[in-house]
Structure 1
């Protein structure tokens, strides 16, 4: 080898070594310069890789609401996104994208090293300015789905690492499928199906070569190549795609010529959202609350103070807003129990029932007189129809958003059923009387000692007030809290709540849930129309397990139901004109002071339906009673939904027994000719007390006993029969109280007069002998008139 050749080789090796040293220095320097960026990219890529699942590459389209038959009720939003299998997409789309975006797609392993190095060199040459992307289709999938569109070194490093991971996880077909379903085409169109429908009014599977090439061109730069705003540039870009397909032998020359010469013809099909209606708004509300609860939000219904309640409500509203926004943003499929046919019947019944009221509020162009109604299928416990106002174009759903005073419709749930839990029964006697500073009955009419059954059928306010006072208001409110009544305030712990005097009130949905609980044997299941929720079309993220809670005992619920049957079946009941042929019905009217609100809450073995009527801003309404407009709307709907259904009664629980009762409604061992129903558990408890009394009397003691009410029925009777001391004491007490009343002057303070009058009434009602009791009551009436005391028996 000549010296000249040797020198050339030495120079070459030295140059090569210099280049390698320089390259190492550059790479080493670059690594040191971007060390923190690279490490950060690695951490981000790893976090993204761990978050990938089956739904990662499926975008959220519209939120869809389905009825009981899985027919679409509503589509929320304007998105037309639909994820497609690659087999459902024209092959021209796949070929076009590979030709123009990544010709080595099937051979490279997620990144194109040559293009990546080229992009890096240009980045350095242009002093940190990005001029070309060098991204493969796999990299674009990572960027479009998992990352932002920021053009930074950190994002590029993360993109490369993710692309390498995706290439190992998925096949080329899967990656291409992810790509075409996540490209953005402008005009709000994500995914090739959305773009095909919007620009060409056809599915992606039916796209021609020219149309497919147009879409492949648009996604490169949706603003620049928008065929609506820039048809010429869109056509030019389409032809570039066609040329790339021809060059790579994906189409023939003839196909190229035909497609290139095809005029750009668009048939725009803009999406139309379904207007929100009563069904939609309630379905969304049920979904939001269900997802909140599933994710650990603790709903609260009892508060120690208004401060505690306000703090909770602030947190609730913020959390609700976030979940509501998420559900409405798209991707959810809400399966419901809603019955479109029954919805139409309920809406028609309400609209027709309020047709007498034509006044329009000029501030919002809505009817002044409004109504709301809810219907639950008792066989499933799900809401099947919900009407939030007159007409179907009012977005304000009063059925669950409006809280109103319930009037007497609250009595069965708050006063009487809880009292049955504590030993009262339908024929328990309460003295219906004037109560100073208390509620009054309709037309100031009072009946003296009456049963709870009669008091409910006649809707006597004073009896309900006394019952809640006896069992304590907080006791009754606890039952409402158990049934998730959200409008209860700390100051509602007051006997006036017994007749619906609440700070805020109740909603029709809550009332439907309460009355359904009675129909369901005391077992409460929160009202809802949502059976399940899917996300991104296939993943079920919520399933309504319909778990219930025993709020009232089956016996208490049945006794309440039996009484409420009389509200309608008896000739004097407040709902006597609301019978339904061929069905056994239970129900309760409710009217607030000055007829500002009217309610009817009723149920059969098949359906529970609640109707409210009134103004949005509480206003006195002529002839508005629970039995008038609300009752007739209820009757109209219930008659129609029961057509063809056989008569069915409410099942009697095994714990219900019948026993003889005395004149005060207490159970007795003697055949008095009158019977009432009791909970067996109550009679067993009473029998236990009886045995204690027997033992006590047998020991030789004859002093008066004072057992703990209400478990005193048999014990009280035995004391009267065996010693007579109780009756003598009652007569003495009555005589003394009446003498006090008779000794007063009309000039005495009104508080003194009212107190003495009430005490005399109560004492007289305790007297067993009917003749003596009648004599006492006449003396009280005479004194009342002489002293000018208001109120009556």
Structure 2
């Protein structure tokens, strides 16, 4: 047995399958068959990855080949037309308003502040200048987040990809759109410079509150240009693209601060700002609040007139194609008109008492639900206030309410916080203010238009905590106020061209869209008399004609009652010169001269001044201004008196241009030219103008080599006599308050209708006509003291004081054919030789009296004949 052992391999034979033992070794056959080892597993994984990568590559290639032919040409972006709102400017280039769903003010790259570019890149795409349109790391990170969480947290979009999406693609969330966005971004990067891409982005991006682009956002949130913002405000704007609606500083201040501070922190980490800059900006409180459509001048009624015209001409494209409209409005005069009308209406309103009913704030914060950030102010009486109320939080909530309430021009909303013995503390949108008792002493209770109650003796008689009020800040003096119920209108026109200089259609357009300058048809009363008198002068009367101011009675079967018109004073003045009758506004004289020349004759003459014939009643009531007209129509008529007797058509649009400056329309008004009497006028053969079409200026865009001369409708001598008589209305008649302006070139006429329902004043010098109307929208008496000379004239004076302050006085040139002679003031005849009370009067040469007054006519010209016994004359 000592021999060597020889190893013989065991011969393996296939054993038959044994069902009894198979379950104990289920994979033995498989492993034995495939010989799976770690090395084979690794090969399999590698092979699987290669297949996946290849498949992905093939899929991407297929998508690329499919989508590439459909991609737009990025070169088109250089010529893209951004939706830009309609902008309306004054003649001196101050912005009145803008219209359009998207507020946008495009900027060039050079106009973008460097600080904003840094903030934007820190917020949105810090590798913008390094990548080629896509951020691979960002896309991978977004993909992994989607795989891990099943939700899309970040899109990995670069600024270039956002440009591609904003200009060419929808907001649909799909892989196809994302692939298209990536491919288009790469194509954009190959075509445009980085500066061009940034410029497109900052002008297109939506930033909340209808603001598109950074300049519009700066105006909406801060009322400033982007160049005027602080670092904190700039970072706030730069952080908006992520969630412009949900995280803007107005809708969600807390989220907005968090996002702003994130942007600031990113700027620090990227070395764009220092740590001290960060700390200062991060500590800055939110100052954002909503700023409505940017405007440099208040002219909402003019803006609406322009909007209507532009929509009529250009349809809905008027809101998006960036049209620029320059109006004829003079910014300085428009501001003066707005202030004068509002102040006049407030003065009337205060004179008739305080009628505002108490209303109380409904936002009260309870200490159980809110934690006050600060203690109440020292002046707040916590001893008498509700102890369960979190007053600091309540004050903050009140401010939020007040910020959302639109001011009524000069009036500012407030909520009373605490009433003291010498006044009351108010919460306003801007903070706390003290309303002194002196500013509310006027507030005697309203009883009716003629009666007010006793004035208050303590603030608590008027105000209580939580009450909502209006107040007026008049040059630092705070006054309790209320929105006037009385309304008014002011229209001011250059009579030589028809260019509207100022237009105010009511106290506040935000409260009522009704434009009273154009739409209010009211009886003009005695302010219509100059047109009756002009017709009389044209038909043989003279300023010295004697008319009997005596009672008349109208007995007409068509009238329910006998009509007995009378003068406002209730007196009768007997035989009166025409000039006196006008400046004293004697109604009965107007009726008699109209009866003598015939209502039909007067109507035919008066329609030439721009009054629609359909509005003029062809009966004797026309003499008293009983035919309703609009303030615009009355001002148009006075323009012909002011300009020497030419018919003009008011217009308010000077030019319309595209956003690129291409002129589409330029006004070519007919000009009143006193020096052009021998030139042929373009409208000399035209029929008399009887209707005004203010919303449709001439569309003739040709530039004439010579001005188009307006049609003369009034003999120059008649015009001189009429204007000279209207000057006496201011020198010695119902308009003498206007002497406060200390100008010798003013003329005009007051107007007051029955029961003081309407009050008017229309006045002018040779270069400016202004009409003011005051009344209730639903006709009712304004009270026995509300006359044209006491209610409308003060508004006219306040406006004209500013409107004419830079204008030299213009003398009225006496035309050929008008002579001045001495007359007897009582008879209107030539004065007797040596007559001491003789006066000078103007006449057309052919109308100079030939008879000499007898010595018995020696009473004074302005003697009071009110005691004259008169028998009424029956007129049919």
Pick the aligned partner of 2:285 from 256, 262, 267.
267
Pick the aligned partner of 1:409 from 527, 531, 538.
527
Map of 2:590 onto structure 1: 461
Pick the aligned partner of 1:558 from 720, 733, 745.
720
Runs (5+) with no aligned partner, structure 2: 1-50, 358-480, 557-562, 672-709, 828-838, 855-868
Map of 1:310 onto structure 2: none
Map of 2:634 onto structure 1: 511
- Give the deviation of 1:471 after TM superposition: 1.8
Do structure 1's residue 522 and structure 2's residue 648 form an aligned pair?
Answer: no
User: What secondary structure does 1:338 align onto?
Assistant: helix
Map of 1:595 onto structure 2: 756
Q: Residues 130 and 287 from structure 1, CA distance in 2 versus in 1: closer, same or farther, beyond 3 angstroms?
A: same
Q: Residues 426 and 212 from structure 1, CA distance in 2 versus in 1: closer, same or farther, beyond 3 angstroms?
A: closer
Map of 1:612 onto structure 2: 773
Pick the aligned partner of 2:603 from 470, 473, 479.
473
8 Å CA contact 1:407, 1:499 repeated in 2: yes
Cα distance in structure 1, aligned partners of 2:665 and 2:786: 42
- Give the deviation of 1:591 after TM superposition: 1.9
Cα distance in structure 2, aligned partners of 1:170 and 1:105: 13
More helix by share: 1
User: What secondary structure does 1:405 align onto?
Assistant: coil
Do structure 1's residue 502 and structure 2's residue 627 form an aligned pair?
Answer: yes
Map of 1:93 onto structure 2: 117
TM-score w.r.t. length of structure 2: 0.50
8 Å CA contact 1:90, 1:205 repeated in 2: no
Q: Residues 261 and 50 from structure 1, CA distance in 2 versus in 1: closer, same or farther, beyond 3 angstroms?
A: closer
Cα distance in structure 1, aligned partners of 2:294 and 2:128: 48
- Give the deviation of 1:176 after TM superposition: 0.7
Cα distance in structure 1, aligned partners of 2:743 and 2:276: 74
Aligned counterparts, 1:61-140, within 5 A: 84-87=107-110, 88-90=112-114, 93=117, 97=121, 101=125, 103=127, 108=132, 137-140=159-162
Q: Residues 192 and 662 from structure 1, CA distance in 2 versus in 1: closer, same or farther, beyond 3 angstroms?
A: closer
Cα distance in structure 2, aligned partners of 1:156 and 1:26: 15
User: What secondary structure does 1:512 align onto?
Assistant: helix
8 Å CA contact 2:115, 2:231 repeated in 1: no
8 Å CA contact 2:348, 2:791 repeated in 1: yes
Q: Residues 674 and 233 from structure 1, CA distance in 2 versus in 1: closer, same or farther, beyond 3 angstroms?
A: closer
Q: Residues 26 and 270 from structure 1, CA distance in 2 versus in 1: closer, same or farther, beyond 3 angstroms?
A: closer
Name the Cα RMSD after superposition: 7.0
- Give the deviation of 1:86 after TM superposition: 3.5
- Give the deviation of 1:336 after TM superposition: 3.6
Cα distance in structure 2, aligned partners of 1:631 and 1:471: 31
1:598-634 deviation digits (Å, cap 9, x = unpaired) = 2222223465343434445421621444344444665
Map of 1:748 onto structure 2: none
Pick the aligned partner of 1:287 from 292, 303, 309.
303
User: What secondary structure does 1:608 align onto?
Assistant: strand
- Give the deviation of 1:409 after TM superposition: 0.9
Aligned counterparts, 1:443-462, within 5 A: 443=570, 445=572, 456-457=582-583, 458-459=585-586, 460-462=589-591
Q: Residues 609 and 146 from structure 1, CA distance in 2 versus in 1: closer, same or farther, beyond 3 angstroms?
A: farther
Cα distance in structure 2, aligned partners of 1:270 and 1:392: 25
Q: Residues 50 and 423 from structure 1, CA distance in 2 versus in 1: closer, same or farther, beyond 3 angstroms?
A: farther
8 Å CA contact 1:89, 1:204 repeated in 2: yes
User: What secondary structure does 1:622 align onto?
Assistant: coil
- Give the deviation of 1:648 after TM superposition: 3.6
1:742-768 deviation digits (Å, cap 9, x = unpaired) = xxxxxxxxxxxxxxxxxxxxxxxxxxx
1:205-233 deviation digits (Å, cap 9, x = unpaired) = 79999998886665234468779444798
Q: Residues 82 and 287 from structure 1, CA distance in 2 versus in 1: closer, same or farther, beyond 3 angstroms?
A: closer
User: What secondary structure does 1:618 align onto?
Assistant: coil
8 Å CA contact 2:75, 2:191 repeated in 1: no
User: What secondary structure does 1:144 align onto?
Assistant: helix
Cα distance in structure 1, aligned partners of 2:798 and 2:231: 60
Q: Residues 91 and 441 from structure 1, CA distance in 2 versus in 1: closer, same or farther, beyond 3 angstroms?
A: closer
Cα distance in structure 1, aligned partners of 2:224 and 2:179: 39
- Give the deviation of 1:406 after TM superposition: 0.7
Q: Residues 431 and 222 from structure 1, CA distance in 2 versus in 1: closer, same or farther, beyond 3 angstroms?
A: closer
Q: Residues 540 and 92 from structure 1, CA distance in 2 versus in 1: closer, same or farther, beyond 3 angstroms?
A: same
Aligned counterparts, 1:215-614, within 5 A: 218-222=240-244, 228-230=253-255, 234=259, 251=270, 265=283, 267-271=285-289, 273=291, 283-290=299-306, 292-293=308-309, 336-339=330-333, 342-343=336-337, 346=340, 350=344, 354=348, 357-362=351-356, 365-367=482-484, 373-374=490-491, 400=517, 402-413=520-531, 415-417=532-534, 434=552, 436-437=555-556, 440-442=565-567, 443=570, 445=572, 456-457=582-583, 458-459=585-586, 460-463=589-592, 465-466=594-595, 467=597, 469-471=599-601, 473=603, 476-477=606-607, 479-481=609-611, 496-502=621-627, 505-507=629-631, 509-523=632-646, 548=671, 549-550=710-711, 552-553=713-714, 555=716, 556-569=718-731, 574-575=734-735, 579=739, 581=742, 583-605=744-766, 607-614=768-775
Aligned counterparts, 1:613-692, within 5 A: 613-616=774-777, 617-619=779-781, 621-631=783-793, 634=796, 648-652=810-814, 677=843
Q: Residues 147 and 229 from structure 1, CA distance in 2 versus in 1: closer, same or farther, beyond 3 angstroms?
A: farther
- Give the deviation of 1:593 after TM superposition: 1.8
1:769-792 deviation digits (Å, cap 9, x = unpaired) = x9xxxxxxxxxxxxxx99x97549
Cα distance in structure 2, aligned partners of 1:338 and 1:228: 38
TM-score w.r.t. length of structure 1: 0.54
8 Å CA contact 1:407, 1:591 repeated in 2: yes
User: What secondary structure does 1:97 align onto?
Assistant: helix
Runs (5+) with no aligned partner, structure 1: 1-14, 299-318, 483-487, 666-672, 684-712, 718-769, 771-784
Do structure 1's residue 141 and structure 2's residue 163 form an aligned pair?
Answer: yes
8 Å CA contact 1:80, 1:271 repeated in 2: no
Cα distance in structure 2, aligned partners of 1:200 and 1:612: 38
Pick the aligned partner of 1:174 from 178, 182, 196.
196
The number of aligned residues is: 606
8 Å CA contact 2:525, 2:624 repeated in 1: yes
Cα distance in structure 1, aligned partners of 2:545 and 2:345: 41
